[in-house]
Amino acid sequence: MNRQALHRLLVLHMTLLPYFTQANTSIESLLESGALALEIQAKGGHEGRCLRVHASNTSDAFFVTRLEPGRLLIAGDATQQDILLTEEVIIALSPAQEMERSIQGFCYQSSDASPQEGTRFYLGQMTDPFTMKTANYLNAHRDIPLGTQQAAVWMLSDCHPMSAIDRKTAESNALVDFMSELLHLPKPWYTTEHLKTVDQLYSPRVLRVYGEIPFEVITYTVMQVAVIDPTGKVVNQLMRGVPYGPGQYTMPLDLRVDHWPSGAYEVQLRSDGDLLKAETFEL
């Protein structure tokens, strides 16, 4: 490299150095120093791109920072839901530069009211490792239906059952696999649909249970299928004396259960009166 080229490189380095002195700085330190002005407001709603962030560089230096998946955003109104951020948001600003964009997150308190348009949100802490891993998974799989993503978040924040996460798509089913492995919980064979009210997004009351039970028949037989309640009583006779030949089958189940008491129910498949297979679901 000749002397003139080296001189130009040194000049360029010295010119740009002040702009990178705060590169990759934590968002907390930028807010504390006053270098970053951050406003987060609700757009109305509790899932998906339900928040808007406006960031301004009030310093004389360029910086790069980020809002991380797994960070909690706290509602200024305590009656409204906090939001779990499930999107990585890079904030790279030159002096006096501003940016505004919608960001993706999900309700972290199903019992509170949905955020109203214009509600202010404030930067909260990073959540626990399980929630952070889930938020990063959702950041990488945004094609999952919003309601399915929300159900997974509520499983962590409000202890909702894994069965409340629907599996209508391959992406949704993969999410249930992920949650099962992450939390070391068995993957339910069934899905539960829960009550929604005007003032509540979720209720533990189950409206519907649906799923499929695979089974195999090795000889010609007559099948009976019944649902047994926690007291041992038959509450639904799904199949009576239906003949089957040898082969592999799937028993579809779709029950309206909003009037049933809570507890563990057993679906019994019997072959010529003998128990062939049993599966349990919880209400």
Structure confidence by residue, pLDDT tens digits, 151-162: 999 999 999 999
| pTM for the predicted model, two decimal places | 0.83
Instruction: Give per-residue pLDDT as tens, 243-263.
Output: 999 999 999 999 999 999 999
Instruction: Please give the Cα distance from 145 to 169 (Å, whole number).
Output: 9
Same domain, 268 and 165: no
Same domain, 159 and 62: yes
Torsion of Cα atoms, 75 then 37 then 140 then 173, to 10°: 10
Same domain, 228 and 176: no
Where a domain ends, among 173, 204, 235?
204
Instruction: Give per-residue pLDDT as tens, 26-64.
Output: 999 999 999 999 999 999 989 999 999 999 999 999 999
Tell me whether residue 8 is in a domain: no
Mean pLDDT taken over the chain:
91
Residue 114 near residue 81 (C-beta atoms within 8 A): yes
Radius of gyration of the chain (CA): 27
Q: Give the structural domain span for 253.
A: 207-282
Instruction: Give per-residue pLDDT as tens, 189-214.
Output: 999 999 877 666 778 899 999 999 99
